[in-house]
């Protein structure tokens, strides 16, 4: 079968590899329908931070159709369409026993611990698969995983209904957070991104207002979402947050931040870490069923496996306007 494999930092190849063997007990074979390229895929490509096995097939945002069932698998049938939960947790540590699988002490992800969706087929544990409603379009359904991530960040903020929210970064998570806030009825959503066309697209789809992080100090907001991964953007966002406010940190950071802690102490500003998602996947699927057309409007393009290396280049260079590039094997 054809697959995209990450061999090392900055070394991504389209190759022909053996198809997966029959699924083991508790595992399920999938024919990949679609997979999304995530910012963390690009981060791993650029830094090698999460390369634990090489070569590996990336792709933790994926939907597929069940083609074979391992022994003991229940609740799924051949032909079912499913979306993958990206988190590969151990099930034995204190966090897992408490139901906090996203905080597992040995947490890994599909595409790292096991091969992911940048291929024609894959094999995954049954416990990571959610059946999809058949009337949810593929190009919306494949965004269930990043929607769950964005939803987790929004939940962690514990927003007041009418309070303004400023989102730094209109990539997939920032844009989907704006979509979630719009769906929840928030009327004052502000977005900032150095790519003006992308910010404009998010504003058009969600009803958000495009602002600059450099022009909000006289009109500070209570809540912010940092979805850029830029320490410079976080510093700017901090200046836009009013006393008693909070920022959800969901972007994967490059570099470290020099920060005077008194800024947080004296103004009682909270920085809230948001890692992956907890139990938001079913709600994310339901939200996409309501907002499918708007979610699909955020898609940049659909590509084949041969086009993935060039898509990585364009995404890293910031040449895209749409938020999500979808692979169709």
Residue at 26 is within a domain: yes
Residue at 292 is within a domain: no
How many domains would you assign to the chain?
2
Q: Are 99 and 171 part of one and the same domain?
A: no
Give residue 215's pLDDT: 61
Local structure of 149: helix, strand or coil? helix
Residue at 235 is within a domain: yes
Q: Are 124 and 242 part of one and the same domain?
A: no
pTM above 0.85, yes or no: yes
Residue at 285 is within a domain: no
Residue at 141 is within a domain: no
Give residue 23's pLDDT: 97
The residue segments making up the domain with residue 7 are 2-132+298-327
Give residue 260's pLDDT: 87
Contact in structure between 227 and 173 (CB atoms under 8 Å): yes
CA distances from 188 to 36, 95, 155, 302 (A): 29, 36, 17, 32
- What CATH number corresponds to the domain at position 126? 3.90.180.10
Q: Are 119 and 189 part of one and the same domain?
A: no
Q: Are 223 and 321 part of one and the same domain?
A: no
Q: Are 178 and 267 part of one and the same domain?
A: yes
Residue at 178 is within a domain: yes
Task: Give the CA angle between residues 283, 50, 65 to the nearest 5°.
Answer: 45
Q: Are 32 and 106 part of one and the same domain?
A: yes
Residue at 286 is within a domain: no
Largest alpha-carbon pair distance within the chain? 62
Give residue 214's pLDDT: 80
Q: Are 182 and 119 part of one and the same domain?
A: no
Whole-angstrom Cα distance, residue 264 to residue 329?
Answer: 47
Give residue 250's pLDDT: 96
Residue at 288 is within a domain: no
Give residue 33's pLDDT: 98
Give residue 243's pLDDT: 93
Q: Are 56 and 128 part of one and the same domain?
A: yes
Per-block mean pLDDT, blocks of 10 residues, the chain (329 long): 97 97 97 96 92 95 98 97 96 94 95 96 97 94 97 95 92 96 94 94 96 74 94 92 95 84 92 96 96 95 97 93 95
Q: Are 168 and 204 part of one and the same domain?
A: yes
Q: Are 181 and 125 part of one and the same domain?
A: no
């Amino acid at each position: 079968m054809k697959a995209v494999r990450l061999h090392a930092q900055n070394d991504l190849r389209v190759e022909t590899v053996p198809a997966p063997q029959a699924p083991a007990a508790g595992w399920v074979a999938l024919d990949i329908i679609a997979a999304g390229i995530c910012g963390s895929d690009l981060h791993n490509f650029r830094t090698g931070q999460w390369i634990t096995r090489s070569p590996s097939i990336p792709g933790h945002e994926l939907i597929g159709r069940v083609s074979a069932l391992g022994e003991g698998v229940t609740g799924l049938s051949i032909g079912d369409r499913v979306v993958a939960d990206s988190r590969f947790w151990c099930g034995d540590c204190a966090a897992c026993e408490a139901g906090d699988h996203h905080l597992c002490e040995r947490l890994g992800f599909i595409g790292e611990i096991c091969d992911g969706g940048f291929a024609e087929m894959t094999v995954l544990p049954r416990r990571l698969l959610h059946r999809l409603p058949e009337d949810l379009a593929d190009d919306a359904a494949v965004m269930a995983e990043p929607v769950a991530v964005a939803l987790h960040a929004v939940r962690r903020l514990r927003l007041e209904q009418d309070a303004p929210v400023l989102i730094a970064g209109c990539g997939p998570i920032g844009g989907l957070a704006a979509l979630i806030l719009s769906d929840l009825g928030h009327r004052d959503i502000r977005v900032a991104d150095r790519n003006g066309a992308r910010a404009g697209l998010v504003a058009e789809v969600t009803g958000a207002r495009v602002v600059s992080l450099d022009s909000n100090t006289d009109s500070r907001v209570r809540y912010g979402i940092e979805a850029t991964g830029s320490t410079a953007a976080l510093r700017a966002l901090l200046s836009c947050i009013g006393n008693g406010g909070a920022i959800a940190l969901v972007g994967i950071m490059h570099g470290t931040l020099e920060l005077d802690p008194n800024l947080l102490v004296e103004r009682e500003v909270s920085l809230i870490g948001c890692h992956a998602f907890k139990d938001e996947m079913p709600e994310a699927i339901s939200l996409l069923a309501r907002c499918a057309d708007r979610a699909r409007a955020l898609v940049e393009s659909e590509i084949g496996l041969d086009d993935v290396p060039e898509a990585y280049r364009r995404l890293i260079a910031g040449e895209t306007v749409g938020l999500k590039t979808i692979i169709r094997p």
